[in-house]
Amino acid sequence: MAFHGVVGFVGLDDLSLDLASSLLRSGYRVQAFETYEPLINEFLKLGGTRCSSPKEAGKDVSALVLLTSQADQINDATSGLQNNTVLIFNSTMLPLYIKNLQTCFTADYKPAYVVDVYAMKAVSDSLNGKIMIASSGSSNAILKARPVLSAMCEKLYVFEGEVGAGSKIKMVKELLEGIHLVASLEAISLGTKAGIHPWIIYDIISNAAGNSWVFKNQVPQLLKHSKGAPKDHLPDTLVQKLGVILNLAKSLTFPLPLLAVAHQQLILDGNTDDQDATLIKVWEKKLGVKISDAANAETYIPEQLASHIVAKSDMVKRIGFIGLGAMGFGMATQLLKSNFCVLGYDVYKPTLTRFANAGGLIGSSPAEVCKDVDVLVMMVTNEAQAESALFGDFGAISALPSGASIILSSTVSPGFVSRLDQRLQNEGKDLKLVDAPVSGGVVRAGNGTLTIMASGTDEALKSTGSVLSALSEKLYIIKGGCGAGSGVKMVNQLLAGVHIASGAEAMAFGARLGLNTRMLFDFITNSEGSSWMFENRVPHMLDNDYTPLSALDIFVKDLGIVTHECSIRKVPLHVSTIAHQLFLSGSAAGWGRQDDAGVVKVYETLTGVKVEGKLPAVKKDFVLQSLPAEWPLDPIGEIQKLNQDTSKTLVVLDDDPTGTQTVHDIEVLTEWTVESLIEQFRKSPKCFFILTNSRAMSSDKATALIKDICTNLHTAAKSVQDADYTVVLRGDSTLRGHFPEEADAAVSVLGEMDAWIICPFFLQGGRYTIGDIHYVADTDQLIPAADTGFAKDAAFGYKSSNLREWVEEKTAGRIPASSVASISIQLLREGGPDAVCEHLCSLQKGSTCIVNAASERDMAVFAAGMIKAELKGKQFLCRTAASFVSARIGIIPKAPILPKDLGINKERNGGLIVVGSYVAKTTKQVEELKLQCGQILRSIEVSVAKVAMRSAEEREEEISTAAEMADIFLAAQNDTLIVTSRELITGKSPSESLEINFKVSSALVEIVRRITKRPRYILAKGGITSSDLATKALEAKCAKIVGQALPGVPLWQLGPESRHLGVPYIVFPGNVGDSGALAELVKSWARPIRFSTKELLLNAEKGGYAVGAFNVYNLEGVEAVVAAAEEQQSPAILQIHPGALKQGGMPLIACCISAAEQASVPITVHFDHGTSKQDLVTALELGFDSVMVDGSHLSFTENVSYTRFITFLAHSKGLLVEAELGRLSGTEDDLTVEDYEARLTDVKQAQEFIDETGIDALAVCIGNVHGKYPASGPNLRLDLLKELHALSSKKGVFLVLHGASGVPKELVKGCIELGVRKFNVNTEVRKAYMDSLSNSKKDLVHVMESAKQAMKAVIAEKMILFGSAGKA
């Protein structure tokens, strides 16, 4: 075994011998100083080394355990300590003393780490006899001490913070022990006084809700001592301990009423001169109860009596049942299941209907259900209700046949039962009464496993034996006649009530001491301070959940019975009476109908403490800034180099597709045949994913699936030379999924690993692990994961945010939290990859290790260290979130991908968004999506109730309707949202919930399968949804991860076998992004409603072609341009001249804009030749994509000023501005420029003009004209154009040429080669329109069509000439 270091002990006791033994077995060398020879001899037998002095015991040790409070020994032992020694103080010392010692050592030995421990042997069934330790100290001290502490015990509880937690826990435990001891004595005293044998009380209560460790283990000793054994000195010692606790509480101004009165009782017990008196003898003398005589009397076995009664019981055919409340309903239906005929009555009418539906008969009064019955069962709330139901108007007694039997199962006082029995005898109907109170709760009532304490005459018991047997798992027959059964129940309720109240007092005190109450609860349940009620009710307090499983007012009644009976019987019960007062206080505060655990609110209200065991939410920025600085070197380069040194492929088994959210250029398989895996291994990839979708399966199916995949991996790897791999089980970053089942399944095939790695950090999703606590970011806060909606998952819910405790919780205790190792952020940031490697290599084989991380750098540091450990031969199985995978393979992130990156930004069909996820974040995101994108989005809601809970016909109709509507919306070029109704429907069990999830997901699959219209993209929201759509609806067998559409949102390219080949597939996890993330993505991927003119010209510049700008005047002209553009797949510009605008007005503009939006190719709308400032300012508000500022008629200075003004306004709206320098001759739309006014563009002026105005496009005059060219043809100055192009290229300005009509083709091409990117075309198109009118047509419709086709032909020809055809 590897040597781990030396641990010294100063002082030994019996328990510390066990600690030393455990350390020796774990590979530590242990040395000790102790003066008591028997102890040191036992230590030497274990293999320890004896030291002659405390100083020698502290020499060269990594940890020193101090079990002494003597200052001289402590000073001697610590005088020569080496750096970084851990000092471990035994918590038999008071917290303040330990804290003072810590302060002293911090001053004298700055490198020393101080922790305190409270060690004990657990007494619970699960840990019986095993050592558990509670320890506290600073985070650094705990980190240093944890290996030693873990080696000393089987279960370790760590309370980070100030030292002293161990002794505080010890105080809370002793508080409970003291109260439980006195309560046990009170219970035995009251039961004895009620005529019940003490050993019968013990036998029944030790198996009932009133049990506690003290009752079960100390009462037998007390009863045995009553026979004359020596006095037990426990009270003397306990009195001293409880006095210390009360003094501390006094200093904290914290009331402990139960402990105070218990302390007084124990003081009274010790106040006797008879040194030979036992505790029972003292108690008898003070209370006047002869417990000893009763305990020594002949006893009997209640279960044997019950067996005899049941064996001889009479046949019962017909049963009346009064009181169908929570308990009564379960009991009555259990009798129905036992084939009795049951007639039921309750004052609450809906309950009667429910009982009838369960198969029972019902009556309208107690009398009606008692006719001709053999037995009547009464399960009403209290004595008053029993009295009324039996003897009131239409009461049961009037209708019961002679000789019938009555079973009274209500909790009432023994005195009431005795009086009732006498009254029934006086009725003269030979009615027989069985006193049979029950215990066990609602669930046990419904399945016939109650505990029943029955008493009565033999004849009465014999007549009801079959009924009592059908209702019970444990049936006790109590001697003593009617009232004896209620006497036992009364004693049980005394203890149960005190234990709830004492649990509240203990937990509230623990909270006041600053202890983690959930860890405190866990410790106490394994200690002598535990009780059945403590374990059952304190979780309600920790969860702050007071849903009434048993109402607080029930204990007001039940302890009221106790105080009444003790008063009548003259037995003072101080603790029980105080407990009753606490429940009364809770009822008076208005909490009577809440759960009885709500009694803790009495303490919380008085003192201001909170018992609720939730970790606090913390400020994100504050926590992250408080962490050490990150490791200074980026390990990604080192990881990439290390990966070259290992041939291992990382195989990621992804339980839903969202695990691909941090990688790119990696393949995903949706099938895992040996052949497909061999094909992957032959490619020698650094990583590939296998989509298992196992989170949607039951545990058994997921286990079988992982075994199948791992078997195929093993087979495939053996078939490929040098193939080796590491398996990662990629799971949810919010801790949902099949753990540990999937890990167990993998190991069963792959063999035992050196360690399991648990790493749920995921930056993009806001998941951080800090101090072993896993957090989920919510705006500016970090919320412990167990307090989020994710932890309430119907199939994979959990209670622990601490990952150590989460591991223990999910493994049902198989892997204790104390055995789970941890990589801290301090180690990552201060030690780097080498420290990680060293830590991983030091783990015992088969360990589980969690990884803390708060940044991508932390993740990369861990990954580098892990690879180094693998290169040393270590093997790991990783259960991680997505961030680990990208770090492990050294991926460098790239920017989110946009539609233009995939070349689909020009596609006009609608996108398809399918939402199945039910997490609260998704619901918020859907709401925000509808709010922000309502104008461009069409929504279809799929009813979950109809597809998962209703008939096959309703399901089919819902699916068919949704698919049909989606096709219609997509065909209309609308982005379409298909979303499941947002009400969450869950099953009665995790498996039922998974089945509902399957039905919903399969409905979404069927809807998408039936959609025939090809979407522009598909977005699937939620893990199960995205997996099922990819594999089942789209039939993908493989995919390539292209990258991310948003951080944490993977984008896939589906394989060639899939439907809708080439359609991008966006996998949007349910738990990623803020409330606006989905809307942000949909908007960025939305079909562009309007392209900008600048985009068109930029594309033309890149492609070396020109875009035609065609003047339009009416609908036919607009349609002609769009039709030609779509036919030629060309961009185009619809151009409106001021003259046309004057005639067509707003309808013409609206027509152009609508046509541009509906077109399947890029079309923009341009305002041409704005010669008036007023016209241009107005045009800027009318929806144009660009404007031309025509100041060519002005002087150069005026033109600059005019153009600059409009440019400023246009740019503020994102519009392109074209201007003209130089002046074209000719006529356009009734505007004529004479030849003598025309002038060419001057290059120097052009430079100044561009610089001064900031324009985007320049219309130049190089000899071109508006309208028709002379017969000699155009005389264009291409040399001038070349100079202008050189200038414009440098300035980033597009060149525009007006007057393209009539320019020869070769000349047009030459102009394009010299940089012209926009040609204005008008004359030839107008001429085609006018010529078409000369042909006689029968109808106006035909005239319009003819004109449209004529113009379209000219326009299409120009598009081909300009080179824009096919460039859309």
Contacts of 1352 (CB under 8 A, 6+ apart): 1120, 1121, 1123, 1124, 1127
Query: Tens of pLDDT along 701-749?
Result: 999 999 999 999 999 999 998 889 999 999 888 899 999 999 999 999 9
- Residue located via tokens 């139960």: 258
Q: How many residues does the structure list for the chain?
A: 1368
Q: How far is CA 939 from CA 301, 942, 980, 1045, 1088, in A?
A: 71, 10, 11, 22, 19
Residue 757 or residue 646, greater confidence:
757
SS3 434: strand
Query: Tens of pLDDT along 766-810?
Result: 999 998 999 999 888 999 999 898 898 888 999 889 998 899 899
Residues 191-204 have a mean pLDDT of 94
Going by pLDDT thresholds of 50, 70 and 90, the confidence category of residue 231 is very low
Contacts of 1147 (CB under 8 A, 6+ apart): none
SS3 987: coil
Lowest mean pLDDT among 227-241, 1181-1195, 1209-1223: 227-241
Tokens of 1333: 């009118």
Of the candidates 93, 92, 135, the one whose C-alpha atom is nearest the C-alpha of residue 114 is: 135
Question: Which segments of 873-915 are extended strands (E)?
Answer: 876-880, 912-915
Contacts of 823 (CB under 8 A, 6+ apart): 836, 839, 840, 849, 850, 851, 852, 862
> How far is 947 from 960, CA to CA, in rounded Å?
11
pLDDT at 1156: 92
Q: How far is CA 511 from CA 137, 251, 784, in A?
A: 18, 15, 19
Of the candidates 797, 839, 841, 809, the one whose C-alpha atom is nearest the C-alpha of residue 822 is: 839
Percent of all residues in the chain with a pLDDT value above 70, rounded to a whole number: 93
Query: Tens of pLDDT along 642-677?
Result: 888 777 899 999 988 777 888 899 999 989 999 999
**pLDDT, averaged across the chain:** 89
Query: Tens of pLDDT along 70-83?
Result: 666 677 777 777 77
pLDDT at 389: 96
- Residue located via tokens 């929570």: 326
Q: Does the CA dihedral 133-136-142-144 come out positive or negative? A: negative
Tokens of 534: 């403590």
Q: Does the CA dihedral 138-144-146-148 come out positive or negative? A: negative
Q: What radius of gyration do the chain's Cα atoms show?
A: 43
Cβ–Cβ under 8 Å, residues 864 and 836? yes
pLDDT at 501: 98
Tokens of 577: 């009476």
Four-point Cα dihedral 836, 840, 842, 844, nearest 10: 160
Q: How far is CA 444 from CA 333, 439, 514, 532, in A?
A: 12, 9, 38, 16
pLDDT at 289: 86
Cβ–Cβ under 8 Å, residues 1216 and 1256? yes
Q: Which residues of 1246-1260 are buried (b: 16+ CB within 10 A; e: fewer)?
A: beebbebbbbbbbbb
pLDDT at 18 over 90: yes
Query: Tens of pLDDT along 1285-1331?
Result: 999 999 999 999 987 667 888 889 999 999 999 999 998 999 999 98
Lowest mean pLDDT among 62-71, 111-120, 259-268, 1217-1226: 1217-1226
Query: Tens of pLDDT along 858-868?
Result: 999 999 999 99
Q: Does the CA dihedral 784-788-794-795 come out positive or negative? A: negative
Cβ–Cβ under 8 Å, residues 852 and 770? yes
Going by pLDDT thresholds of 50, 70 and 90, the confidence category of residue 1 is very low
Q: Are strands 405-408 and 341-345 parallel, antiparallel or unpaired?
A: unpaired
- Residue located via tokens 């909270």: 511
Q: Percentages helix, strand, coil for the chain, rounded to the nearest 5?
A: 50, 15, 35
Going by pLDDT thresholds of 50, 70 and 90, the confidence category of residue 914 is very high
Query: Tens of pLDDT along 340-389?
Result: 999 999 999 999 999 999 999 999 999 999 999 999 999 999 999 999 99
pLDDT at 930 over 50: yes
pLDDT at 105: 55
Residues 1211-1224 have a mean pLDDT of 86
Residues 917-938 have a mean pLDDT of 87
Cβ–Cβ under 8 Å, residues 1301 and 1335? no
SS3 754: coil
Cβ–Cβ under 8 Å, residues 1273 and 1263? no
Residues 1037-1047 have a mean pLDDT of 90
Q: Does the CA dihedral 1347-1351-1352-1357 come out positive or negative? A: positive
Residue 559 or residue 625, greater confidence:
559
Going by pLDDT thresholds of 50, 70 and 90, the confidence category of residue 310 is very high
pLDDT at 186: 95
> How far is 794 from 788, CA to CA, in rounded Å?
13
Q: Are strands 1018-1021 and 912-915 parallel, antiparallel or unpaired?
A: parallel
Q: Are strands 155-160 and 318-322 parallel, antiparallel or unpaired?
A: unpaired
Tokens of 598: 């709500």
pLDDT at 816: 80
Q: CA 70 from chain center: how many Å?
A: 50
> How far is 462 from 456, CA to CA, in rounded Å?
10
Q: Is the bond into 95 cis (omega within 30 degrees of 0)? A: no
CA end-to-end span of the chain, whole Å? Answer: 73
SS3 1227: strand
pLDDT at 1087: 73
Cβ–Cβ under 8 Å, residues 1268 and 1225? no
Residue 300 or residue 233, greater confidence:
300
Tokens of 827: 């180690």
Residues 194-221 have a mean pLDDT of 94
pLDDT at 72: 65
SS3 824: coil
pLDDT at 628 over 80: yes
Q: CA 122 from chain center: how many Å?
A: 33
1035-1036-1040 Cα angle (round to 5): 165
Going by pLDDT thresholds of 50, 70 and 90, the confidence category of residue 617 is confident
Of the candidates 470, 362, 865, 315, the one whose C-alpha atom is nearest the C-alpha of residue 638 is: 865
Residues 994-1023 have a mean pLDDT of 89
pLDDT at 235: 63
pLDDT at 1230: 44
SS3 679: helix
Percent of all residues in the chain with a pLDDT value above 90, rounded to a whole number: 65
Helical residues (DSSP H) of 526-647, grouped into ranges:
532-543, 552-568, 574-586, 600-607, 620-626, 636-645
Of the candidates 1220, 1215, 1290, 1213, the one whose C-alpha atom is nearest the C-alpha of residue 1258 is: 1220
> How far is 305 from 205, CA to CA, in rounded Å?
17
Q: CA 549 from chain center: how many Å?
A: 26
pLDDT at 1225 over 90: no
**8-state DSSP, 658:** G
pLDDT at 1231 over 70: no
Query: Tens of pLDDT along 830-887?
Result: 899 999 999 999 998 999 999 999 999 999 999 999 999 999 999 999 999 999 999 9
Backbone φ and ψ for 1199, nearest 5 degrees, come out as: -60, -45
Tokens of 977: 């949202």
Q: Which residues are catalytic?
A: 489
Cβ–Cβ under 8 Å, residues 785 and 791? yes
Q: Are strands 131-137 and 113-121 parallel, antiparallel or unpaired?
A: antiparallel
